[in-house]
């Protein structure tokens, strides 16, 4: 090998090492991450106790998943089980596939196979009310729906459109298109 080829090889090696060093200095040492969205909370198998202004337990809400929506402050829930204590002898028991609570915490919206159980009448049978959607106003002690409603108690079946349930006084009012079937 002559001196000329040796000098060219050293120059090429020096250029390669210099290029590699310059490229390494320009690249960040850690990959940049995207900015995380503003935080909210996420709960699994959660139990939430709602209190009245007097400090008494008003409801117990259980959900498989609860997620706070940071933009609105609302809370979304999956597989909801709500026991609402109306002050009467029996609490109202509500279930739904999903639901949400507004930021103020005074409106619980239930949707997807909503089921309400209550001992509304004298006797051992439970009254079951089903509807696709239901709004529960916690402060006013009211549950309302504008959707189709079905009420079953033993052999009795009543269908209607819309309902208004006074959870405190344990009264249920059907809004329209009321039809009943009462079998002995």
Tens digit of each residue's pLDDT (9 = 90 or more) over 72-106: 888 999 999 999 887 666 788 899 999 999 988 88
CATH homologous superfamily, domain 42-140: Lipopolysaccharide (LPS) transport protein A like domain (2.60.450.10)
Q: Is the pTM of this model over 0.75?
A: no
Q: Please give the pLDDT value at position 109.
A: 95
Confidence band of 34 (pLDDT split at 50, 70, 90): low
Q: What value does the mean pLDDT of the chain take?
A: 81
Q: Please give the pLDDT value at position 153.
A: 85
Q: What is the DSSP string of 62-109?
A: EEEEEEE-TTT--EEEEEEEEEE--SSSS-EEEEEEEEEE-TTS-EEE
**Over pLDDT 70: what percentage of the chain?**
73
Whether the pLDDT of residue 36 is over 50: the answer is no
């Amino acid at each position: 090998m002559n001196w000329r080829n040796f000098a060219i090889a050293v120059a090429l090696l020096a250029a390669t090492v210099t290029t590699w060093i310059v490229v390494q200095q320009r690249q960040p040492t850690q990959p940049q991450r995207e900015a995380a969205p503003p935080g909210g909370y996420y709960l699994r198998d959660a139990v939430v106790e709602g209190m009245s202004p007097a400090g008494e337990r008003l409801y117990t809400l259980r959900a498989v998943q609860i997620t706070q929506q940071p933009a609105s402050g609302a809370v979304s829930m999956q597989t909801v089980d709500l026991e609402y204590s109306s002050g009467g002898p029996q609490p109202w028991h509500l279930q739904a596939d999903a639901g949400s609570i507004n930021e103020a915490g005074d409106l619980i919206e239930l949707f997807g196979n909503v089921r309400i159980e209550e001992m509304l009448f004298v006797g051992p049978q439970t009254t079951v009310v089903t509807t696709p959607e239901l709004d529960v106003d916690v402060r006013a002690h009211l549950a309302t729906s504008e959707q189709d409603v079905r009420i079953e108690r033993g052999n009795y079946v009543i269908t209607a459109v819309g309902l208004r349930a006074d959870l405190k006084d344990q009264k249920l009012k059907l809004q329209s298109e009321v039809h009943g079937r009462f079998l002995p």
